[in-house]
Structure 1
Amino acid sequence: MNSSLQGLEANVTQELIAVGAALDAGRVAEAEQQLARVLASHPGHPEVLRMQAGIHDLRGRHQLAIRVMRQALTLRPRDPLYHNTLGALLGNAGEYEAAIDALRTSCALTPGLALAWYNLGVMLTKCVRNDEAAEALRHAVAIEPRHFGARALLADLLRTQGRVDDARTAYRELIELRPLEGMAWWGLADLRTQIFTEADVVQMRAALQHPDATEHDRIAIGFALAKAMDDAGDCAGALAALAQANAIARHRQTWDAQAFSAQVAAVRAAFEPSPGRASAPIGREAIFVVGLPRSGSTLVEQILATHSSVQGAGELPDLPQVLAEESRRRGKPFPQWVADTQADGWARLGQRYLERTARWRQQRPMFVDKLPNNWIYISAICAMLPAAHIVVCRRDPLETCFSCYRQPLDGSNGYARRFEDLASFWHDFDRSVTRAAALHPAQVHEHSYEALIRQPEAAIRDLLNFCGLPFEAACLRFHDNKREVRSPSATQVRQPIRRDTARAQRYGELLDPLRLALKQPCQTS
């Protein structure tokens, strides 16, 4: 018997196995219903607690999930699977460094646990520690050659390096081994240069109906199929595939638009009037690029990272983690402690951020932090780092929201599953950055994607000037930069500026529900 299930009656053991299977498949309601019966009789059993933590996590109750899992770990402190689970939960909560520590403990306890090495690779990737991530993923594949998730993520890393042909080959090899492997199908779609064949479409449709396909597979394959339909000019078919994929994703991870709006409003209110800021002009070396996903932020980073003085760091988790550290230290969540923070406190937080990101200034004096949702924290950035530069990326809201809807965004992007939630999120963004730009005009620059497309050189000169950088002609040839890029736009930013990226007009009145949600006029027939 699995040692985790010791001390349980046979019927309870079978119920927990069923709960675990439901959780692995993302059927959270089913898992919750099954576990309720076991909780009544065995509330303190460590495996029951572990399953309960998994349910809390899928319901978006991340901190509660972590507390329950730590309770389970006190009962099984040497269990590598428990440390692995804690690492995964910490990662889902955005606590990546703590997740890496937990997963390294799991790997040390049982070096042959491929799952722990894979999860470690995932978390290292999220921290943009790609070399370490690749090493961990290779460990997973060496232990378990048919670990398809690890192989898919290694293929993703090839794509970040611009090795498109190698990535395509790796994805195709994965599909040969497991035609249901969703992330391989989406990896091909995300290369942007991939044109799916009729045979591919038939294979994807069959995979979506296969009983062994997980919900995770169906989500990724659904988005890939939508891309194939879009390429073929079948807009209605593409939207149908997207609706199905997003419905599954929303079932796995709910989004509370009202609660998010309240949170964003609380952050705005906490900084009006301004509680003060660090007295020293620190942070000039930091350039924050913020905005909604798919708004051109990767392109802006690529342009800046082509400058001889700027290192492109990617989507760093450090700013929200510094704020989370302070929240734990004070015993109250952000932004409740903002009003009590003096200039020296903000300076301490700013220095902490600069310490955490020091490795990105080893080769060049300035760096780009491109975590999109940092727009929520613009006023906090201004307080911590009064000399930092904040570039807000704006793109036509309809194009931005529709592009988000077409991507299998994960993590904190649950708003991208429904038009109503997307519109609500965009309006929260718009209100916040408009106010922040008015309050901090010297530190906030609103960059227009459409203006960049129309007049590239003028927009690039404005961008460099705002960041205090002299113009370099190389920035106009950003597509020649061979740096690693980890984002859905990785392939696009290695090409000259394109003027054919707009999609909404092609879909016409099919997108009227999104237009209505955004309070835009409907498309006339």
Structure 2
Amino acid sequence: MSEIEATVSETPMRDYQSALIALQEQLAKDNNDVAALEKIGGIYLKVGQIDQAIGHFKDCIKRAGSLPKYYLNLGHAYKAQGQFDEAISAYQRVAESPIEKVAVTGLFSLANLKRYEFNAAEIRALSALSTSAELGLGHQCLASFALGTHQEASGDIEQAYTSFEAANAGIGQIRPFQGQQYQALIKTMIDFIHTADWTPSESSFEPIFIVGMPRTGSTLIEQILSAHSKVEATDELMLMSDIAISLEHAGGYATRLRRLQADKVSELVARYLRLSEIFRPEQKIQFIDKNPNNFLHIGLIKRLFPSAKIINVIRDPLDNALSVYKQFFAEGHEYSYSIPGIIFYWQGYLTLMKHWDAVFPGQIYHLDYEALVKTPEPQIRQLLAYCGLAAEPLCFTPHLSERPVLTPSAAQVRNPISAKSLGSGLQYKQQVLAHLPQIAAIKHQANAWFLGA
């Protein structure tokens, strides 16, 4: 496996539109095909058409009965829409299952809302499930993540860290981080892509890419920008990673990127726009592609879309490291299951971002998350100005947006902008004491290189 394949998910191009058409044709042939109905609902959920998704999942329940998987998907749809009471009710149906691996998925989903309070019986169930011999390691870890979330909310920081530590250790065994491949990819980008002297692309679209580490406030920034009348949001698209893999298979990612001819650029631009079209029903010239890992692909982004805006979000590394460590990711982010892995990933990210800053001077906007939540108005105005957008009132009240949110921050972004999360990593200071010098060095580097501090 090459470094690019080890670093990003190796999947075929995500053609949700074609899949949707095929499934709808199948359903037209057999109106009783509940599996097709469920898959259609899943696509609607993925592309942010939440009302359609909810309707399909409810139809599944009506036709096939109260299966937990339908309620799980229904809960995810309600969560994306900000209907948290409905999401809780749906997840509770899953948590009530007598099948342990189903029940733990429901309990984890409740914890992942970041606003649910477990009762005593649910806490006992989670404790038992976290060590249940009937469960595989992965499901035990879901219980431990949920327990840690509850324990932190209850103020039991020491026990919370113990639970998160157990959860991360287990997932780390199942999904080990390929650190050498990640490092090799960064080195290849730096060695091969050191000029932006390319034939300009003719695309009129001006996508806005939000990159950085996950759990840095990127969803908040997406909400701010998508509230603007000239901008629409999509999802955490994997399309740039998919294009990178296709180039890797065609003779090496960096080599092929450096030698891309105008006709191939046009082909890749058309492919990206076609596959993202289902996420962009309004077809606005400016749209958001918020995938933090796209920092790996800024060279590719600027090759395809020279006018693209790149927003690099930087959060305090200690706060970020703990936020990442406490979060289970359904796919990717294998580095996140150990503090040393997170530090290693941060170091590679900073190194590559410094390189991109040199290759594309003045073209990347480095956004300080702490400054944003402390003084939102001037920071939002600067952000809009970078994107070439006039200030609009709704951009300053992103919590009022009704746009569906499919990330772990779905609950947080429904609240007004607040600085209350600043310093949240300090409560775990004793647990990560050995790592503090490296984290402090990362903070110094990030401030010096990108924030002028």
Q: Scaled by the length of structure 2, what TM-score is found?
A: 0.85
Contact 1:127–1:317 (8 Å) recurs in 2: no
Check if 1:268 corresponds to 2:190. yes
Distance in 1 (alpha carbons) for counterparts of 2:324 and 2:40: 27
Given candidates 360, 363, 372, the residue that maps to 1:440 is 360
Letter in 2 for 1:313: T
Structure 1 spans left out of the alignment, 5+ residues: 1-58, 65-89
Q: How does 1:211-360 map to 2 (within 5 A)?
A: 211-274=133-196, 276-280=198-202, 282-284=204-206, 286-328=207-249, 331-359=250-278, 360=280
Q: How does 1:379-394 map to 2 (within 5 A)?
A: 379-394=299-314
Shift, 1:244, TM fit: 1.0
Shift, 1:143, TM fit: 6.8
Name the SS of the counterpart of 2:130 in structure 1: helix
- Distance of aligned partners of 1:133 and 1:267 in 2 relative to their CA distance in 1, 3 Å threshold: farther
Q: How does 1:420-459 map to 2 (within 5 A)?
A: 420-459=340-379
Shift, 1:369, TM fit: 0.9
Which moved further from structure 2: 186-195 or 356-365? 356-365
Distance in 2 (alpha carbons) for counterparts of 1:414 and 1:115: 31
Contact 2:217–2:369 (8 Å) recurs in 1: yes
Contact 1:185–1:221 (8 Å) recurs in 2: yes
Letter in 2 for 1:262: A
Contact 2:11–2:242 (8 Å) recurs in 1: no
Contact 2:226–2:233 (8 Å) recurs in 1: yes
Contact 1:223–1:242 (8 Å) recurs in 2: yes
Q: How does 1:141-160 map to 2 (within 5 A)?
A: 141=61, 145=65, 147-160=67-80
Name the SS of the counterpart of 2:15 in structure 1: helix
Relative contact order, CA 8 A, sep 6+: which one is greater? 2
Check if 1:174 corresponds to 2:94. yes
Distance in 1 (alpha carbons) for counterparts of 2:336 and 2:13: 22
Q: Which residue of 1 aligns with 2:415?
A: 495
Q: Which residue of 1 aligns with 2:129?
A: 207
Distance in 1 (alpha carbons) for counterparts of 2:16 and 2:389: 36
Contact 1:287–1:367 (8 Å) recurs in 2: yes
Q: Which residue of 2 aligns with 1:512?
A: 433
Which moved further from structure 2: 240-249 or 351-360? 351-360
Q: Which residue of 1 aligns with 2:294?
A: 374
Structure 2 spans left out of the alignment, 5+ residues: 444-453
Give % identity: 25
Contact 2:244–2:253 (8 Å) recurs in 1: yes
Distance in 1 (alpha carbons) for counterparts of 2:308 and 2:377: 24
Distance in 2 (alpha carbons) for counterparts of 1:146 and 1:92: 34
Q: Which residue of 1 aligns with 2:11?
A: 93
Q: Scaled by the length of structure 1, what TM-score is found?
A: 0.74
Contact 1:222–1:245 (8 Å) recurs in 2: yes
- Distance of aligned partners of 1:354 and 1:92 in 2 relative to their CA distance in 1, 3 Å threshold: closer
Given candidates 103, 108, 112, the residue that maps to 1:186 is 108
Name the SS of the counterpart of 1:335 in structure 2: helix
Distance in 2 (alpha carbons) for counterparts of 1:358 and 1:410: 24
Contact 2:247–2:257 (8 Å) recurs in 1: no
